[in-house]
Structure 1
């Protein structure tokens, strides 16, 4: 299924917002996985210089430079995140740019590795009316893009989810970690965690998330885009 837009639009019109499912159903995006707040890819590079040359090549393309993806160059390779900030969601433009970036990666001999992708978030629960946002914002140096999240303004560190206590189930604790992984990697990640001494506490929300715990009962939600409201475009995700 292709994710190309229907009606003709002018260049100044915002792109058409699409669901994670529609992104993954599009042709030419096999290198990419939808995680929290965007489509992500990681391209292994044989050397730092090879990764830098790839970054220079993709940012020289007007389609990529105009979209301003988040690009992280490391010795191991290049991580790229796409999100359409003008619609605060995935869009048809993200599909087009993802295809272009993957094509340039192939030209440069870089290989995508979806197993390296993840997004980590810390959830902090507090009673209604207990405004802890100023404290967490100042102590972390984060900004607040919406009512429930704090994010690193340079989008490097883990985000913080300010979770209302009425949304916290029994025996959940006041803080936990969310780990968003590719939908086709989640079962392998859970099996590895169980083999490392973890246990499944709750799988009633699967495939949206599975709650795991370590031997000391610290909780982790291993999550994917499967089953989320965002697959129906019913919620907005922080784009910054």
Structure 2
């Protein structure tokens, strides 16, 4: 059966995916190694994942460290989440539990560097050459091995946006971890500069007005479309 595209909300509300969180471009999980030989424990788990995907080549991104194993799922053919990702997430979680690894959603995040420039400024080729990245579209650069932060050219800034530097960091965190992250930033001397786009993102700033956007998948287009469909169905039933 072919994989069917699903929304972040459908993935998150499905049974058996409590270990997983939807962030930028996929579903992510971190499984903490807790044995006396953590690297060997993680390596055995990675071998389990390889066996799970051997038949259909639905290959996840897997990062093995002595602290544990990070896994990202996305269906590359549709560049989004699918029913196959749901099935694989459940199987990977089961393999992790069997190996004694423990899911730790607090360790999950995805970083993106954003640079604001005047419209039509030809700066993306410069950064592509400097970073050795690939260019999937007109605004983004990505690490070809998907190891490091992506790079985003923001060429239009609203006039009423709070003043800050031309470069900032986007930090995508799980939706159930965002409040703790914001509280930690404020406790460390930061301030909330703009929350008008919440829950899609909150802009925070340090004492020198350097900005960081703490973002979740809540509020993004895929979620809004899902909510609109649900509201439309309710209105039709009520009518």
- The TM-score with structure 1 as length reference comes to 0.88
* The one of 138, 148, 165 aligned to 2:129: 138
**Taking structure 1 as reference, are residues 232 and 16 closer, same or farther at Cα in structure 2, changes over 3 Å only?**
farther
> Which residue pairs with 1:206 in the alignment?
198
1:157 to 148, 152, 158: 148
Instruction: Establish whether residue 97 from structure 1 lines up as the match of residue 85 from structure 2.
Output: no
Residues 233/56 of structure 1: CA separation in 2 closer, same or farther (3 Å cut): farther
Q: Is this contact kept in 2: 1:63–1:97, CA < 8 A?
A: no
Between the two proteins, the alignment pairs up a number of residues equal to 222
Can you list the C-alpha shifts for 1:9-32, whole angstroms capped at 9, x where unaligned? 4xxx4x211111110011000000
Correspondence for 2:111 among 113, 120, 128: 120
Q: Distance in 1 between matches of 2:48 and 2:101?
A: 12
CA shift for structure 1 position 160: 0.5
Deviations for 1:115-160, whole angstroms, at most 9, x for unmatched residues? Answer: 0000111101122221211101010000011222100001011000
Task: Report deviation, 1:79.
Answer: 0.2
Deviations 1:65-102 (A, max 9, x none): 61110000000000000010100111111111100000
8 Å contact 2:53–2:59 — kept in the other structure?
A: no
Structure 1 unaligned residues grouped into runs of 5+:
1-8, 235-240
Q: Using the TM superposition, name which of 46-55 and 58-67 deviates more.
A: 58-67
Task: Please tell me the root mean square deviation across aligned C-alpha atoms, in Å.
Answer: 1.6
**Is the Cα–Cα contact under 8 Å of residues 35 and 119 in structure 1 kept in the other structure?**
yes
Partner residue of 1:222 out of 192, 214, 220: 214
1:147 aligned onto 2:135: no
